A and B are shown apart, each in its own frame.
Chain A
Amino acid sequence: MKNRRFSLVIGILVIALLAVVVVRYVNRGEEAPGEVNLMTWGGDFIPRAIIEEFEKETGIKVNYKEVTSNEDMQSLLEASPDQYDLAVTTDYMVDILRQSDMLAVLDKSKIPNYANINPVYHGAYYDPNDQYSIPYAISISFLLVNPEGVESLGARPITSYGDMWQEELVNNIVLIDWSVEIMGLVLKSLGYEYNETDPVKVAEAREKLFALKPNIKRFETNTPEDSLVNGEAVIGFMYSNQAVKGQQARPNLQPVFPTEGMPIYIDSWVMSKQAPNKDGAYKFLDFIMRPEIAARIADMTKFTSPNKAAEAHLPADFKNNPMLNLADEVVENTSFYIGVDRVLDEYEHIYSEFKLR
């Protein structure tokens, strides 16, 4: 009795698994011509208004798949490389996808507007020969500060990460919730580089990290600016687009570009090696790199554009905003998080211990 029921269950499981395989096989290559499938961050990361204009102009339909992490994009691309044409993904993921042989080499002759990209962004670590990716949106992290709030607590004005350890700031800092980023901040405050592996330096950073705990109000990755807007914190370490939103909501908030240096992230376009509609994808890439289109995208998304030719089309308030139109000396003081995999286990462990304190 028992045995038979068991084999029944196993049989059903096997049939179910086979069904999945068959369904997937049948669904392959069902791509209708004249469609471009892209995937990237949700919200309006690629503004729908711009996509509609492209659809109207070319007759090519664009399907926008929203994902919440680079790793989701990786999984989707691995699971069905022939279902997606384009993705916008963060620098380190471009590196991973490139090394995993998932990406197509881009034919620049089909993208005349590629010439508009600022050469400063050429040859980054994740794509040294600029074969696989085109930068789309640039952001950095820095401190958003409420200067009056800092003063009323009796603390010195904030100019560097080092200033965050002042005793007066107890319970007044909000941070992005990510081990690599926070360890990076501490390492920079000690004068070291991101993703340090030297055990002595890491141990030093660990102690300094623990000393920061009393000053932290909250860890928040998605809307850290809210804590500064509602006044529960006076310093926030966050991404530039978040800081822009925070300052819009509360104009007395000021960006502080820490003297020790800041991280930079470049979200870039990549094409799946098995993209079903490469021609359509090239048309789309060329469209969004038109100077006036790129300028409008930058203004809508509040991300710095790598499109040099777009600068002339940017509205004045974007151009005059130091958080969006990054000064050269700010960009020069930024660096990427390279080699996260070498440090991640160690940093996550330290970060867990830090959280438990």
Chain B
Amino acid sequence: MSPTRNIDFTTLTMKDALDLAILIEEEAYDRYSELADQLTQHDTPDAAHFFRLMMANEEKHRAALADRRDAMFASAACGMTRAMIFDVEAPDYDEVRAFMTLRQALETALRAEQKAHAFFVAALERITDPTVRTLFEELAAEEVLHQDLVRRELAKAPPDPAIATEEFADEPTGE
């Protein structure tokens, strides 16, 4: 399933490309926020805390892109909407579980960064505008840097317990 709809990458302009990149960061921010709330609600504080750090990262990236967009196109109307993208950099809803470990949360973020990298690389095959190509190459390279950051954190994270939490923890209660 394609993570974008109604976007023609062959004719994508720099303004639309920046708007798209901003929306991707916004979507990731919102998803990490939702997932952190879910985990907080279910007593999974380490993973929730890590997802809040990811929110801060996504917001930093969004703000940098928004500054760049403002400098280049000032108040020009945005031609992209959230309905055009889905799960580009945002982790899937079903990535999280109650009592997931910090390591599992890091692995979730790593998969999300890998997914975003794959998206930009695939889009590059269709992009013709040289400035947009440069932007997408830069964004793809940034995703590799983010993956490296997460891998470094993974190397420091404590190993998962020998017994998986679902082996001994009660299921979450609905009421």
To the question of whether A and B form a pair in one complex, the answer is no
